[in-house]
Chain A
């Protein structure tokens, strides 16, 4: 089922949580709402669920305006960050809850409920825990039970609020892969909220990036990572190096250093923010070279497949901090030393004109 939100506005006191947000969530996809805490992503999810009501704007479920209905009538499955399992009920009773609360005429017989609950527990691979209480389960197991419980009422959409937020790193990774697999089996329209960009990029079909109650960019993980639309998106999706500079001729002036750059689409003389990922910077040790940003190596962290070199800007960009990622062998080839003066040459730069926006 498709979900559309139209010009949703929501304010808590003077704090604007959602500022005229409009998004189309296509049917059958797994969409991530990604952003820093306080960006409005959870509020948006709760508005879609009907747990929160927007000050203005519409929520369309399957093309029908659902704005006036409450959570009971919307047939949405909601999974909470802290599971919200009923602790006085067994796992079985938790999953059966939604089925047993139906009006008598629509309610299944206990035997049907029994087989349905076991089917769902099988789906989340926890059938053997049916008689346990939530307190006897691990966090990952609890969240899977919460998911089974939400699926029991055959919701039209599945909404997950930071579903893996309370779990440790290893379990998170396992569970998000598992969620992806489950979604591929069920194809239920799903939206999940996360502040973890890696999680969003790895799991989702579509990523919606939000900041300060607004949508910054919508696209596939590939699109948003490769072609970030705003400085915020660039900065939020992975480590970045930032240069404050001015476009002049065929280059970018960063303080007194010049970096070659084809200034496509940016006005001459414009003040810009230029971004490069750690692997898009090249370290030049040749003292004769006059282009590139002057920097001094502060620290070399050489473990794993690639080395990370931390640098400090020395000329014009004093105080700036840079990070370069390169292959282990290159560190040896260039015989890099801590304290060494070098120049940084970006192989790829993403330039945004400055509009008071920091990123």
Chain B
């Protein structure tokens, strides 16, 4: 065994417990105060259930959209040289740095029925701000950097020779992408997807401005928790939090398993 194993494991476990596990178990403890029936009632109220669907549904869709376009962005940044490339590269990280409320206000101003974009979309019958679509837009916005930043280094390491080899063997561009490039990127894509998804599920600041927060339509789960807190219903709030936690944990576990499987597939490799 490598030296320092006991010490590093000890520190890791202690740190993780202190920073993550203890606060989370407090959530469970608090929620337990409701009793089983109270818990079930709190977490299955129609408004709450509608919020789960929106939160998890929109987060999954946003992460999926970001996977596709994040891959595209990363590809462009790695493969091509163009003026202003560094600027674009820096812009990618902006959603990380911006206070989310600012993002929410900016997006709302844009997509509100009298905003720059909202004005154009309204005649088409598309209402973005103050509805579920607005939630999706906000979640896509804040999730941009994740896929780009996870895929970028892998793409940079991908030798152009591999594509040349595929072409010399008669593969078309499409076949090369499908059979040579994509399989190598899948683990990074899944990691990026998981990060973007996790971020989106927990997002609050940017969403509440643009969502309109209409009960049963455009309320996200974190909003339900805040609403309960404002009514001093701490147990109810933590009950919803428990559901979110468990659900997120299970989803992330599945994604991680997929990621491990695919990197095992591609990676007996390295």
A208 to B168, CA, bound (A): 24
| Residue from B166, B169, B270 whose CB has the most chain A CB atoms within 10 Å | B169
State which of A78, A86, A135 has its C-beta within 8 Å of the C-beta of B168: A78
Inter-subunit contact A101/B179 (CB<8 Å)? yes
**Other-chain residue from B169, B183, B184 in contact with A101 (beta carbon distance below 8 A):** B169
User: When the two chains form their complex, are residues B169 and A133 in contact, meaning their CB atoms are under 8 A apart?
Assistant: no
Interface membership of B180, Cβ < 8 A: yes
Instruction: For B167, give its contact among A71, A134, A146 (CB under 8 Å).
Output: A71
Q: What 1/0 mask marks residues of chain B from 253 to 270 whose CB sits below 8 Å from any chain A CB?
A: 000000000000111111
Q: Which of B124-132, B157-165, B209-217 contacts A (4 or more CB under 8 A)?
A: B157-165
Q: Is the CB of B183 within 8 A of A76?
A: no
Q: Are B169 and A80 within 8 A (Cβ)?
A: no
Would you give the shortest CB distance from A32 to chain B, in whole angstroms? 20
Instruction: Give the chain B neighbours of A33 by CB distance below 8 A.
Output: none
Residue A317 is within 8 A (CB to CB) of chain B in the complex: no
Contacts of A82 in B (CB 8 A): 159, 161
A76 to B180, CA, bound (A): 19
In the assembled complex, which residues on chain B have CB atoms less than 8 Å from the CB atom of A85? Answer: 165
Assess whether A84 is interfacial by the CB under 8 Å rule.
yes
B180: chain A residues at CB < 8 Å are: 86
Is A112 positioned at the interface, with any CB of B under 8 Å from its CB?
A: no
> Complex: how many Å from CA A248 to CA B5?
81
A-B contact pairs, 10 of them (CB 8 A): A72-B168, A72-B171, A80-B165, A82-B159, A84-B164, A86-B166, A86-B179, A98-B169, A135-B270, A150-B169
Question: What 16 new A-B contacts, CB under 8 Å, besides A72-B168, A78-B168, A86-B166?
Answer: A51-B164, A51-B168, A71-B164, A71-B168, A72-B172, A78-B164, A84-B164, A86-B162, A86-B165, A88-B269, A97-B169, A97-B171, A98-B169, A98-B170, A101-B171, A135-B269
B76 contacts A by Cβ under 8 Å: no
B175 within 8 A of A: yes
Which of B159, B166, B266, B270 is close to A97, meaning CB atoms less than 8 Å apart? B166
Query: Which residues, 38 to 71 on A, are CB-close (under 8 Å) to B?
Result: 49, 51, 70-71
Measured CA separation A2–B157 after assembly (Å): 37
Find residues 143-162 in chain A having any chain B CB closer than 8 Å to their own CB: 146, 149-150, 152-153
Measured between beta carbons, the chain B residues less than 8 angstroms from A134 are 269
**Please, which residues of chain B bring their CB within 8 A of the CB of A114?**
none
How far in angstroms is the closest Cβ of chain B from A74?
8
Asked, given contacts A51-B168, A98-B169, whether A84 binds B162 with beta carbons under 8 Å apart, the answer is yes
Q: Are A70 and B269 in contact (CB under 8 A)?
A: no
Q: Which residues of B contact A125 (CB under 8 A)?
A: none
Chain A positions within 8 Å of B179 at CB level: 86, 97, 101
Chain A residue numbers with a CB within 8 Å of B183 are: 88
Given contacts A86-B162, A86-B180, contact A77 B168 (CB under 8 A): yes
Interface residues on B, range: 20 to 34
Known contacts being A72-B172, A82-B159, is A88 close to B167, with CB within 8 Å?
no
Q: Which 6 A/B pairs are nearest by Cβ-Cβ distance?
A: A98-B169, A88-B266, A87-B269, A84-B161, A84-B165, A101-B171
Instruction: Name B residues whose Cβ lies closer than 8 Å to a Cβ of A.
Output: 159, 161-162, 164-172, 175, 179-180, 183-184, 265-270
Tell me if A136 counts as interface (CB < 8 A to partner B).
yes
Q: Is the CB of B175 within 8 A of A135?
A: no
- Enumerate A76-105 residues with CB–CB distance to B below 8 Å: 76-78, 80, 82, 84-88, 97-98, 101-102
Task: Name B's interface SS.
Answer: helix
Residues of A within 8 A of B165 (CB): 78, 80, 84-86, 146, 149
- In the complex, A153→B266 CA distance in Å? 24
Q: How far is the CB of A94 from chain B (nearest CB, A)?
A: 9
Interface residue from B169, B267, B270 paired with A149 (Cβ < 8 Å): B169
Query: Which residues from A are CB-within-8-Å of B265?
Result: 88
The minimal Cβ–Cβ distance linking A71 to chain B, given in whole angstroms, is: 5
- In whole angstroms, what is the CA distance A72 to B165 when docked? 10
Q: Nearest CB to that of B265 among chain A residues?
A: A88
Give min CB distance, A29 to chain B, whole Å: 21
Q: Which residue of A lies closest to B176 (CB)?
A: A101
Give the complex CA separation of A310 and B76 in angstroms: 57
B162 to chain A, nearest CB (A): 5
Is the Cβ of A88 less than 8 Å from the Cβ of B164? no
Distance to closest chain A CB from B157 (angstroms): 11
**Inter-chain contact B171/A88, CB cutoff 8 Å:** no
Shortest Cβ distance from residue A121 to the other chain B in the assembled complex, whole angstroms: 16
* Known contacts A82-B161, A88-B265; A101 and B168 CB within 8 A of each other: no
Q: State whether A88 and B267 are in contact (beta carbons under 8 Å apart), knowing that A71-B167, A97-B171, A101-B170 are contacts in the complex.
A: yes
With beta carbons under 8 angstroms apart, the residue of A75, A101, A133, A152 that contacts B175 is: A101
Would you call A153 and B164 a contact (CB within 8 A)? no
The answer for the CA separation of A101 and B167 in the assembled complex, in Å, is: 10
Residues of A within 8 A of B167 (CB): 51, 70-72
Residues from chain B with a CB closer than 8 A to the CB of A149 are 165, 169
Given A80-B161, A88-B183; A136-B268 close (CB under 8 Å) = yes
- Which residues in B have their C-beta under 8 angstroms from that of A77? 168
Which of A181-231 touch B at CB < 8 Å?
A: none
